[in-house]
Structure 1
């Protein structure tokens, strides 16, 4: 009999995960899977569970939670000899990977869609010992998102990140970057660098309109130092999908990038704290076997 591991974060989605647990288990059983359900209790649990699923050669892994839980699960699948099929049920604040894959943000719909999904190989990226599927951000604005606690995310959603970002811009600190990519080198002061794999970044589904889940590219957006009025203009450009046209933004499409800074700076990887500069990011093309809705296959 086929085996599926169902990984869920019980605190995700305003602690709604328990409400959907039975529906997921019944759905997987109806698809012919023996279901092994695991609940996360601490950081990296989802990674360890997914690694176990690879070691024991499970056929399918389904993760339910926010972007952090999904990132952990995908990290556990990355670069493994045996890799199960993967899908997700989004219960987070932003849910970028689900948006990019065309998975419904309505949990019951996403669960039902497991029955009719198709396999598609999608890109992820590797930086140091970390992996990500959506976005790596670095700069004052990225570091400010660590100030957003669980209570703020629950009450304000994505707005909580925007508020902390505005605070960081007002601080007017400067960071010098040296960015080496496939086509050359960019150096200078910047407020923020985004390395996006998908079109959905921070819930903005048009921020990187050219980005496809399987194009093998990192889409770099270097936001140069700008005062608050300029940043608001840039934010508007991002919402409209016109970020590449903004004069304060440098855009690069590359398979690999090296980022160095004048002083060590922490990155934000898929919403959580990542590694510190300097580092190299590289794309692992078509690396994850994702189950996606038929209309996106």
Structure 2
């Protein structure tokens, strides 16, 4: 039976250029051996999520999420909870495209992004995060500063990309207020005031690749960042350091790897909203679990740094050792 692919695309994502390339994109997946069809998302809630679930349950082998990080997050939430999960491909058409950036998928050329499927080696299994009953593929965050993502108008995001977040962030910095919280992670606990927390699965946060400089895509760990300092001057210092990746050594920052994290506000009157992949994902208390190598994705394997593929590189090394071990010395009889 011929393999099937379903393209789930957002017709209003980014600068709305995706539709003009759709025929050529369909042709690429047909060339790769997939009987391919497309679905345009609607303004209805969970449109992409529901279609992804339907296609997966009907036995589609490949789901292509074409749009911004919001569309991709919906698609992942549509398939991550299923026992049988199709392979996932990404065609970025949003503003920051964090996940595509981490997978080194071409972000300015949708057809080039689709053509990654033509190389059978461009596949590997990637970690996914679970936050209570929701899933995320890039980052979970909480704290006053992260609330700026809710306050940047979508039109401003489309026009200015992540520069819009900087503009709004500068405006909100004076309002940053720490929250007294408990953060339990892999047998340890931070208990005290924190301004911001991040749990990252990739190295790209809002288009910046130094905030989580050593993130691995498949090692089973979150990169957990807890920002303790909350003064205006301190936050500005840390933001400057984050652009260079030197914030991880700052004493005002806890930076660790963790598989299981529970975040709980200690004052019942404090509301701690949690941001999942750039959108509101509910309020803490929240339990985060890293689902190790949970989804197979299509990526630009030639461009992803070796240190971002811990488990994949280890498998390649193990396979190489086994292969060498099974070879006979041609000089021996």
TM-score normalised by the chain length of structure 1 = 0.95
TM-score normalised by the chain length of structure 2 = 0.86
The equivalent of 2:167 in structure 1 is: 163
The equivalent of 2:315 in structure 1 is: none
Q: Distance in 2 between matches of 1:185 and 1:217?
A: 17
Once the 2 structures are TM-superposed, how far is the Cα of residue 46 of structure 1 from its aligned partner? 1.1
After superposition, the C-alpha distances for 1:95-132 in whole angstroms (9 at most, x for unaligned) are 11111112121223212222125220000010111100
SS at match of 2:195: strand
Q: Distance in 2 between matches of 1:90 and 1:14?
A: 11
Alignment map for 1:75-90 (pairs within 5 Å): 75-90=77-92
After superposition, the C-alpha distances for 1:221-273 in whole angstroms (9 at most, x for unaligned) are 11123323322221222221222112221112110000011323211110111
SS at match of 1:15: coil
Aligned length: 297
- Structure 1 residue runs of 4+, over 4 Å off? none
Which of 111, 114, 130 pairs up with 2:114? 111
Larger Rg: 2
Once the 2 structures are TM-superposed, how far is the Cα of residue 215 of structure 1 from its aligned partner? 1.0
Higher strand share: 1
- Taking only aligned residues, the RMSD between alpha carbons, in angstroms, comes to 1.5
Alignment map for 1:55-66 (pairs within 5 Å): 55-66=57-68
Once the 2 structures are TM-superposed, how far is the Cα of residue 183 of structure 1 from its aligned partner? 3.9
Once the two structures are overlaid, the 10-residue window that deviates more, 6-15 or 260-269, is 260-269
The answer to whether the 8 A contact 1:116-1:294 is kept is: no
Q: Is 1:38 matched up with 2:39?
A: yes
Q: Distance in 1 between matches of 2:264 and 2:10?
A: 35
The equivalent of 1:259 in structure 2 is: 263
Q: Which runs of 5+ in 1 are unaligned?
A: none
After superposition, the C-alpha distances for 1:137-166 in whole angstroms (9 at most, x for unaligned) are 101111221111111112221011122222
Alignment map for 1:114-129 (pairs within 5 Å): 114-116=117-119, 118-129=122-133
SS at match of 1:284: strand
